Amino acid sequence: MKRKLSILFILVFLSACKRTTDNGEILKFYGDIKEDIGYSVAIASDGYFIGGQLTEITRNGNQVLGSSPKPGIIKTGSDGNTIWEKYMGDRLEGSFSKVIVLSDGSAAAAGQVTDTVTQKTDVFIAKINSDGTGGVWKTFSAAGNLTSKDLLQTSEGFLLLGTTDAERPVTSDSTGNYAGKKDILIMRIDNSLNLIDTPVPLGFPNNDEGVAVKPDIGGGYIIAGTTERYLLQGHKNDLFLWKINSRGISTQSAIIGGTDDENAADFEVLDDGYLIAGTISSTSGNDSVLIKKIPLNIYSDPLFTNKIGGSSSWSVNALSRYKSNSFVLAGQEGSSSQSKELIFVIDAGGNLVEGKVKTSGGTGVQASYDVVSDSENNIIAIGKNTYESNSMISLLKFKF
């Protein structure tokens, strides 16, 4: 009976919330019962690719026989209406954390899958044509558990930013990795989805996690993330920037932290530095957004550090360029049990732009995990809308 009520709720929920308003705002939901989450969105020439977790439901009539969360891609038109959707991974359960549009108009996505027997997590990467055909994928396994955080198309194929919890010999407080702690992982993959070289781990003995990787000024790549390098010195989490060359080898790294518990979310590479967005975690539960700009010389002092928040908790998950000299950010306003999607704009100085704050959602937990803007200044945010044990992928398209 509970499952039937859940299905009835979703049908009513979708009929009420799939809409286009008079001002052109579009709100769409995708998925079935159980948990569907959108983690990434990419703009295609004819719509959007959404990457995340799609729960595959097995039914006998109205009776639900089983469910399995899968890495999934949804292709929509510019109106948000579904063109096709694909579940990937065969018997493996998992999700995509990043989807990108390739130079030929097809899509690639990276995430992780978990073997339901061994419970081991491995990196998962896939490619699919724009029309939903030709889907191919590959799983990468190694010692420990692997996850994927970001993906770039490169001249040789792909650069994947992930994590590994495999042990590396700890010879000091700045080298190695304790078993079960996270290290940054760099994987170079060719266009046929084969490894080009042995993946490169980076990090310190405690948890280190990159959140995004970008092409750097002057060549190579740069990673932003969060580290526990100074955990024993009384710090909790600090931001870092880590530069690597085209082969994934470390060239420079700098830890950028203070007394706050800072967690990186996303960043942009600018002509004069690096704009990092993250969340400052508070013991009171009233988190705030952190905006920090670092010069191109990453060892220099920050150009500015701003804290942004409201009367309730603010956290951020994504950052993207917006118009000519601004940035749009997406995340969550509220508590872990009751929250709304949060989208807002900052200027080049990292200041909140007046009148450019939007929250969306009703009862339950809502969050935005990725945000982009197009040439017409539309903002497209992707995330989840949760009520009780059911969550749907949400797409919100609007203009400020």
- Residues 122, 139: contact at Cβ < 8 Å? yes
pLDDT surpassing 50 at residue 3: no
Q: Using CA of residue 75, residue 221, residue 187, residue 145, what is the dihedral sign?
A: negative
- Looking at residue 19, its pLDDT comes to 60
CATH homologous superfamily for the domain 2-398: YVTN repeat-like/Quinoprotein amine dehydrogenase (2.130.10.10)
| pLDDT for the residue numbered 15 | 37
Residue ranges of domains in the chain: 2-398
Closest of 44, 31, 36, 33 to residue 8, by C-alpha: 33
CA angle (239 as vertex; 238, 240 as ends), nearest 5: 120
Query: Per DSSP, what are the bridge partners of residue 255?
Result: 240
Contact present, 47 and 83 (Cβ < 8 Å): yes
On the question of pLDDT at 5 being above 60, the answer is no
> Given a cut of 80, is residue 10 above it in pLDDT?
no
Average pLDDT of span 13-33: 72
The pLDDT tens digits for 210-265 are 999 999 999 999 999 999 999 878 889 999 999 999 999 999 999 998 789 999 99
How many CB atoms within 10 Å of residue 58? 10
Using CA atoms in the order 267, 268, 270, 272, what is the torsion angle rounded to 10 degrees?
Answer: 0
| Listed residue (104, 81, 85, 108) closest to 96, CA to CA | 108
- Which ranges in 37-142 belong to alpha helices (H)? none
121 Cβ neighbours under 8 A, 6+ residues apart: 94, 112, 113, 114, 145, 146, 147
b or e along 357-374 (b: 16 or more beta carbons within 10 Å of the residue's beta carbon)?
A: bbbbbeebbbbbbbbbbe
Here the tokens at position 141 are 């396994």
In whole angstroms, give the CA distance from residue 53 to residue 112: 10
Percentage of the chain lying above the pLDDT 70 cut:
94
Query: Binning pLDDT at 50, 70 and 90, where does residue 36 land?
Result: very high
- Under the banding of pLDDT at 50, 70 and 90, the label for residue 173 is confident
> What are the Cα distances from residue 249, in Å, to 177, 242, 344, 380?
17, 10, 36, 34
Give the helix ranges, DSSP H, for the chain. Answer: 2-17
Say if residue 22's pLDDT is above 70: no
Cβ-Cβ contacts under 8 Å for 285 (sequence gap 6 or more): 313, 335
State the pLDDT confidence band at 16, using cuts at 50, 70 and 90. very low
Top-confidence residue, 17 or 380: 380
Query: Rounded mean pLDDT of the chain?
Result: 92
Verdict on whether the full-model pTM lies above 0.85: yes
Q: Give the pLDDT confidence score for residue 257 in this predicted structure.
A: 81
